[in-house]
Structure 1
Amino acid sequence: MIFSRRAIPLLGVAFFIVFLYTVSNLSRQWRHMPQAVGLGDLVTTPFPTSSVYLNTTGMVDQPSRELYAPRPHYAPGVPKPPGSTYAKTLVVPQAGFEDTEWMRYELPEWQPAVYVVDDLSAPLHPPKNKGHEVIVYLSYIIDHYEKLPDIIAFMHSHQFAWHNDEIFNGNAAEMLQRLNPARVVREGYMNLRCIWAPGCPDWLHPGALQEDEHKQEETMLARSWGEIFPDNPIPQVLAQPCCAQFVVSRERILAIPKARFVYYRDWILRTELSDYISGRIWEYLWHVVFTGENVICPKEHVCYCDGYGICFEGEEGYDEFRRLHSEKGELEEDLKQWRGDAEAIEVERISGTLGEESHISVPDPGRDTELEEQISEKERLIDEMLRNATARGEDPKARALEAGRPWKEGDGF
């Protein structure tokens, strides 16, 4: 009993020492986590997953602050003289039996680079099918870093998609046929989508704590940012038009050390994030990689004019074009509703259930013809504006004026 009473103080001291050690150990771990997420502090770890914080002994590894490659040097490019041709490559991922033959027929001036993601025996393939298109884009750059063409477009494999702007009828081929390589060289990086929504002007917030079902990657972004860009502070916002389709000049890629692209791909290969989330995170990182800017949202009318030669004589003209499109869409919805009601009435009439107690709205007679005429008129005005804008875009001076860049006689696009 005497021994037990004497042991109590000793046990208390021992417990206190263990408690202090535990608190100190946890404190050291938390020092490697992002502080005030979204307010610009660094995430110091350059490693791709959380598992590297503890080694097999349970001790904390001290992450290195040594940069994995020199910082890129971004500078505007100088286009070739007017009339020159550009070597162009189109990089796309392909899975299963996705059709990519359209590129050969529709885009003879573009060299296709089709990376087959689910066949390691294919001539071009990534090391693993992970991260959606990200692994393909990075693999192409790594594989061809020493032999790049003038212009490289990175796109999805389908020719028609909702995220290809409506002005091109959703057609990727038409979009690339109209693309101005001179703008790509000047800018270094160009998102192929001009329409801001979704993505601009204020899209992802790395400091967000509550999940948004439309932006599921947002809450994972702060930690991922610290792993991907360990030498950059966490931004408050990331924004560019969706959807991971863009074009880059050779000079801009070469301005970034190859080691960085290898590092980025290693992150994709090693991250514990799902294939879907890791791919979504990178959708809003490409502009950071190739411009060093967190927000790249060029005016839509400038993008169309300087990028594709469709010039509406400024923002007001473009807004009028968009207004006509919106009004046409509303009329089409009204016509769809009218036809739906008319069809329902006819069904009830044939079945003999049409009567005073019917809850179906009776469409106004002749309203469909009226709506069709209004839609046709809107289409005529839209087509006229588009023809004029396309003709205006043939003038390099008009493009320069709308883009707000200097131009002198003899300059090209």
Structure 2
Amino acid sequence: MRRRTRRSVLHLAVFVGILSLILFLNRPSPPGRSFAWTTVSYETAAARLPEARGECPGLAETDKPALVVSRIAADDSAWLAPLAEQYHLCVYTADAPHDARSTQLQVPANRGHEAMGYLTFLIDNYAHLPDAGMVFVHGSRWAWHNDAPDYDNAALLAALNITAALSPWGYHNLRCDWSVSTCSPDTPAQGSLELSLQSVLEPWSARTASDKALPGALASIFGGDQLLQDPANTRVLLGRNDAVRAQCCAQFVLSRESARQHTRDEYVALRQWLLDGADNSHSGDAPPTSPSPNRRAAPRDDRVAGRILSYVWHILFIQRRALHPEGLGGSIDLGRLNAIACPRADECYCRLYGQCDLPRCSAGGCYGQYQLPRDFKVPEWVFQGEEA
């Protein structure tokens, strides 16, 4: 064989080998894969946990659904007042100064964005969660992710049919449009080589960083120390091509039954996962401490930590009877989880907001119902219309 021919054959063999390796690493995951994501088992090294200061006044006596609002002081809260006729308001201000004389509506730290208010509500009001359900939202009335033509959360909450929203699975995200979600089959799996490369090319992207960190975070939250002791004992770590499909943007409706699938201690552990990862974590009224030595805690970047939890709510709350294949009561079928987390947009609009028979709908959206605004900012015409 001539030297040039041998060189060509060698190059071809190397190319075929590399191509085969790429195809092997990116092969689709087999159907029916289940994960042990049913119990929050993170263990903290903190010597002291936050005191209970998040009681929502009057919650034990109300027959209304709770509207749990996680806001900052800069958010105008006047828009919430008219909703008090429909909801029992529980409003948490993450950056408010601590009041040592009060046990109401306080969070231990401004950490994890809306997640700190949500978890504090569940922890400190666990015994009095309302039978009528709960709705968890951000503090701003107008936001780019609110699934309405004018981005108005007040209108969405006024129209929300909580009974219909909870009837299938005890949990429902308030968004129906799939934009900025991981619902599309074209979205790379969180552990994929494609996403790893993307994280290198886009080091500034909190979304890419969050997606890349999700497999390890899920293992830390649901696997605890067991993952270190016996990785084969239970499957908590996503495979390279296992994708978690989830809606954006951490606003949802929840039943009491679904919330109580987890114990109060589990919510304490999940909140501590957030606090342990903070640059200056707080425990109750204790002074700031150094970062936790627990390397399984949440990422320090608050944007990343908060976004990871936006991918976790549906795993926690969708009723287990819908997620457990026969004979596997301690695990969650990933395919079922993804299908429930991302319902068709037209079915979602009909169920949640009574907007049925919408025209020009696809699986991920209905024309005229929502448009992702430029630069993720509410358009100026929204505020101009408010002034008029």
**TM-score, length of structure 1 as denominator length:** 0.55
Residue by residue, what CA displacement relative to the aligned partner does 1:244-299 show, whole Å, maximum 9, x if unpaired?
11110111112222221111111111125221110011111111111255421001
Contact 2:165–2:351 (CA under 8 A) maintained in structure 1: no
Give, as a single letter, the amino acid of the residue that structure 2 aligns with 1:269: L
Aligned equivalent of 1:197: 179
Q: How far is 1:317 from its partner? A: 5.1
Give, as a single letter, the amino acid of the residue that structure 2 aligns with 1:284: Y
Match of 2:98 among 108, 120, 128: 120
Match of 2:271 among 265, 272, 292: 265
Match of 2:218 among 220, 225, 229: 225
Aligned equivalent of 2:113: 132
Match of 1:309 among 354, 364, 379: 354
Aligned equivalent of 2:77: 100
Match of 2:126 among 117, 128, 145: 145
Between the aligned partners of 1:174 and 1:139, the Cα distance in structure 2 is 26
Between the aligned partners of 2:210 and 2:115, the Cα distance in structure 1 is 15
Once the two structures are superposed, the pairs formed by residues 70-85 of structure 1 within 5 Å of their partners are none
Residue by residue, what CA displacement relative to the aligned partner does 1:210-233 show, whole Å, maximum 9, x if unpaired?
315342212222221111111652
Sequence identity of aligned pairs in percent?
Answer: 29
Give, as a single letter, the amino acid of the residue that structure 2 aligns with 1:152: M
Change (3 A) 1:251 1:132: same
Which blocks of at least 5 consecutive residues in structure 2 are unaligned? 1-25, 47-61, 224-233, 278-298, 319-331, 374-388
Match of 2:209 among 204, 207, 216: 216
Change (3 A) 1:232 1:141: farther
Between the aligned partners of 1:88 and 1:323, the Cα distance in structure 2 is 31
Between the aligned partners of 2:36 and 2:258, the Cα distance in structure 1 is 27
Between the aligned partners of 2:212 and 2:246, the Cα distance in structure 1 is 18
Higher helix share: 1
Contact 2:344–2:362 (CA under 8 A) maintained in structure 1: no
Once the two structures are superposed, the pairs formed by residues 202-351 of structure 1 within 5 Å of their partners are 202=185, 203=187, 205-208=189-192, 209-210=196-197, 211=199, 212=202, 213=205, 214-230=207-223, 232-235=235-238, 236-271=242-277, 272-291=299-318, 294-295=337-338, 296-312=341-357, 318=361, 322-323=366-367
Larger Rg: 1
Between the aligned partners of 1:246 and 1:97, the Cα distance in structure 2 is 22
Aligned equivalent of 2:86: 109
Match of 1:176 among 137, 157, 166: 157
Between the aligned partners of 1:227 and 1:161, the Cα distance in structure 2 is 31
Between the aligned partners of 1:128 and 1:326, the Cα distance in structure 2 is 34
Change (3 A) 1:324 1:144: closer
Which blocks of at least 5 consecutive residues in structure 1 are unaligned? 1-35, 53-84, 330-413
Q: How big is the alpha-carbon RMSD for the aligned residues of Structure 1 and Structure 2?
A: 3.5
Between the aligned partners of 1:174 and 1:325, the Cα distance in structure 2 is 13
Q: How far is 1:106 from its partner? A: 4.1
**TM-score, length of structure 2 as denominator length:** 0.58
Contact 1:183–1:307 (CA under 8 A) maintained in structure 2: yes
Between 1 and 2, higher relative CO (CA 8 Å, sep ≥ 6) is seen in 2
Contact 2:177–2:370 (CA under 8 A) maintained in structure 1: no
Between the aligned partners of 1:189 and 1:41, the Cα distance in structure 2 is 20
Please state whether the residue corresponding to 1:182 is helix, strand or coil. Answer: helix
Contact 1:41–1:234 (CA under 8 A) maintained in structure 2: no
